[in-house]
Chain A
Amino acid sequence: MPVLICPVCGAENPISGEKCLKCDATLDGVTPLDAPVEGLSGDESLGSPTKDEQDLPGLLQSLKDEGDIGEVEESLQNGLASNDDLSDIFAEKEASDEEVVPDWLERIRQRAKEEPDAIGDVTQKISAALETIADDKDENKHDDFQSWIENIRKPGSAHSEDQPANELKKENLPSRLSDEDWLMRIRKAEGKLPEGPDPTEQKGNSLLQWLIALEEGRETPSKLGDETSAADEEGDEFSSPITSGDYQVVNEQTQKIATPFKDVLDIDRLMVDISDEEQEQVNLFETVVTQENQAGQQHRPLRKIKHWIWRLVISLILISGLTASLLVWDNADISGAFLSPQNAAFLSWSEARQPGGSLLFIVDFQPGYFSEIMQISKPILGMMLEKDMEISLLSTTPSGELLFENLLAESTGEELAFTDLGYLPMSSLAAYGIANHVENELLQTPESPIVLPAEGYDGILLLSDQAEDVQIWVEQLTALMPETQVLLLLTSQAGPLSLPYWESGQVDGMISGVVEAAAFESAVSGQTVSPVGMRAYQLGSGLMVLMLLLGLTLKNRPDKDDIGEGAQ
């Protein structure tokens, strides 16, 4: 009996229908076709999900009461008992239906003509009943599959060697699944089905063959990009029997993407009953994974190379520029440098020292800042040593003594003696101890009893790299020893936050950073050329500014990695 098959949802419609009874799509231009299986629509014959299984007992009971279900069950039971293959049931049933249409089916069709909404419900319930009965058959399917695997694994197996895998598949799979379905016929009728054998069959590229080849080492997993390009060249279309028009839309979008899962999907479609929605999700997932891999493979190496080149260029500019500034251009004119008030106060204090006085140096900086501190303290140490001042040292870093020794050696070019008062951990503890005349008994030795003297120094000079440490020292010393002069030699990072202590009068002088040190040295020695490293410092600062500006202007749009990492 000719029917119209909806091109959107695949539902069967009467020949006189203008619109699909299921999805209301127009049926204009649809070629009438013979119904493949009476009583089973296309999607039902492929095992669409039973949505109303909860209602099955009621339906079965009502059909039994009418005496129709008995005929169905009897014919199906007979079919199951006589034939192992489910396809035979359908084949037999189809053959018998062509000759004699049962009364119950005639009534359903009559009702469907009268009530368009009833056709889907009733046919779905009948197919659900058939599937419930056919569940036992699924177990046989699984048994068959296991037996294939066992036959494949057996060395010298007739199946694995003599019989091609495709034959195995066709023999053992249910015939209803290997038969041409309604969509294939639509494609044939509309001339969309490619002539000739299936390209996958041409290549013998079934999952089974691929697995066998992989196990025997004859084939290696191919790269995605290669397969994609090969698929593009061959025009390999991922055409598969589908049960939904929506799926067809998705399939058209993904048809050019050949994936390593292609054959897996083929066999899964044959072996597993999945709904249209599940099929769409599979396709969507496959598309996302494939595109992600393709995008990654196409862009990541390029991006990596690009980033690597950028990093290399920036590193080379930085290293070569700084090296050149140290070797060639280290002769900046600093004659125009101005002394800040705090620097001028420091200079006045230094010039006012009398020969033979005593100074306490407090080393409270990390070794990483040694170079900067050395540049800052060099002119002061030179002045103090010229006046033959007695120097004592207290350190709050474990390597303080070594650092100060190096500092003296670098500043004066010779090793000078100084009194080491020892190491006191923590700035707060040391400041508190020195201000309270605490005897550092732990550092005392019989030869040299070390006592922290708080008085008798012309000044306390703090060498520090942290504004927080400066705060502790200055606040403790000026509160407990207001008569003692405190002076600061700081790194540039500690300078700004320590400036208020100078402005408030708690500190008698201060130098912070290389620039102020250069101005101080120029004022002390009268030289007009910057100290070593001044140009490198300026060039480094300039390069940092330049990179900031370039980075902001060249690329101010976030890329995917930035957003992802930022979100994390």
Chain B
Amino acid sequence: MKKILSAIIIIATGLLTLAGYLFREALSPVLALFTDWAILLIGIAGILGIGYLLRMHILRVAKKQKGNFYSIFLIIVFLLTVISGITLSPQSEYFKDMILNVQIPVEASLLGVVAITLLYTSLRVVRIQGWTPLSIGFLSSALIMLILNSGLIGFKPDSLAGRIAGFIQRMPVVGARGILIGMALGGLIVGLRVLLLLDRPLGED
């Protein structure tokens, strides 16, 4: 019974949202209500996630597990941010500077580390697997895309070289489209299996 109720709610919400594309004026209030509920639920999920993360780090500190220093640091910074955000408000210049001057450099540094790690990992692919068609294709495409996107070589768009460069730059699109077509076909097959009752995602009841 529980599963049937869940299925009814899910199907009704999906149908209403789909109908909102067709009867926008009539269903706009309902869609606004759904949107607000979704925002509310996302906010609650965020609070739960923060609480879970905080609990995990507090337990790590309490049990004196390995790396508890980082947990202590995280808890202190978290409390500092929360307290300053509540007391100063997000519109405070000090609070804005504190957030951006930490968040932007830290995230940018992480992206730099990711770039170097990807470079090293791609080298290890060749070291471990040797020269295979996959590794050759992967590394040659990485090299070509790096050179083309670096701007070191300029091509006139209407020239032959420019067209070749444009063709190469469309190759990721080809792969992505292939993946999307595969996903669409997979979704179609799954939908057909559900419609024909070959699969029952919500159980037998």
Do chains A and B interact in one complex? yes
Interface residues of A (CB under 8 A from B): 336-341, 366-371, 399, 401-403, 405-406, 424-426, 429, 432-433, 436-442, 467, 479-480, 492, 496-497, 499-500, 513-515, 518, 534, 537-538, 541-542, 544-545, 547-549, 551-552, 555-559, 562-563, 566
Instruction: Report yes or no: A515 in contact with B172, Cβ–Cβ below 8 A.
Output: no
Asked if B127 and A544 sit within 8 Å, CB to CB, the answer is: no
Residue of A at shortest CB range from B180? Answer: A471
B203 within 8 A of A: no
Interface size on B, residues (CB 8 A): 56
Asked whether B42 is an interface residue with its Cβ less than 8 Å from the other chain, the reply is yes
Give A542 to B151 CA distance when docked, in angstroms: 10
Quick one: which of B1-32 are within 8 Å of A by CB?
20-21, 24, 28, 31-32
Q: Say how far A568's CB is from chain B's closest CB, in angstroms.
A: 11
| Cβ A514 vs Cβ B151 within 8 A | yes
A371-B149 contact given A548-B142, A551-B123, A558-B130, CB 8 Å threshold:
no
Q: Which residues of B contact A492 (CB under 8 A)?
A: 149
Q: Does B104 contact A (CB under 8 A)?
A: yes
Question: With A338-B155, A367-B107, A371-B108 as given contacts, are A442 and B127 in contact (CB-CB < 8 Å)?
Answer: no
In terms of DSSP, what is the predominant structure of the interface of chain A? helix
* A548, B119: Cβ atoms closer than 8 Å: yes
Q: Nearest chain B CB to A435's CB is how many angstroms away?
A: 9
Selected interface stretch from B57-65, B67-75, B95-103: B95-103
Contacts of B128 in A (CB 8 A): 558, 562-563, 566
Complex CA gap A401/B38 in Å reads: 21
Chain B residue, CB-CB nearest to A436? B31
A424 to B122, CA, bound (A): 37
CA distance A425 to B45 in the complex (A): 12
B interface: dominant SS: helix
Q: Does B199 make an interface contact (CB < 8 A)?
A: no
Residue of B nearest to A493 (CB): B149
B143 contacts partner chain A, Cβ-Cβ < 8 Å:
yes
Complex contacts, A438 vs chain B, CB 8 Å: 28, 31-32, 35
- Whether a CB of chain A sits under 8 angstroms from the CB of B126 is yes
Given contacts A436-B31, A552-B123, contact A545 B24 (CB under 8 A): no
Report A-chain residues with C-beta under 8 Å of the C-beta of B39.
424-425, 429, 440, 442
For the complex with contacts A426-B42, A436-B24, A547-B119, 6 further pairs of A-B residues with Cβ separation under 8 Å are A341-B157, A403-B100, A436-B28, A436-B32, A438-B35, A534-B151
Question: Which A-chain residue is minimally distant from B17 (CB atoms)?
Answer: A432
Structural contact, B149 and A541, CB atoms closer than 8 A: yes
Query: Is B190's beta carbon under 8 Å from chain A?
Result: no
Query: Which of A368, A405, A534 interacts with B104 by CB under 8 Å?
Result: A368
Sample of 26 A–B contacts (CB below 8 Å): A338-B154, A340-B157, A368-B110, A399-B99, A403-B100, A406-B100, A424-B39, A425-B39, A425-B42, A425-B43, A432-B35, A436-B20, A442-B39, A467-B176, A496-B173, A499-B173, A534-B151, A537-B150, A541-B149, A544-B119, A548-B119, A548-B123, A549-B143, A551-B119, A551-B120, A566-B124
Write out the residue numbers on chain A whose beta carbons fall within 8 Å of the beta carbon of B96. 402, 405
B54 in the interface (beta carbon within 8 A) = no
Q: Which residues of B contact A480 (CB under 8 A)?
A: 21, 24
Q: Is the CB of A548 within 8 A of B139?
A: yes
User: Is B86 located at the chain interface by the 8 A CB criterion?
Assistant: no
Give residues 146-187 of B contacting A (CB, 8 Å).
146-147, 149-152, 154-157, 162, 169-170, 172-173, 176-177
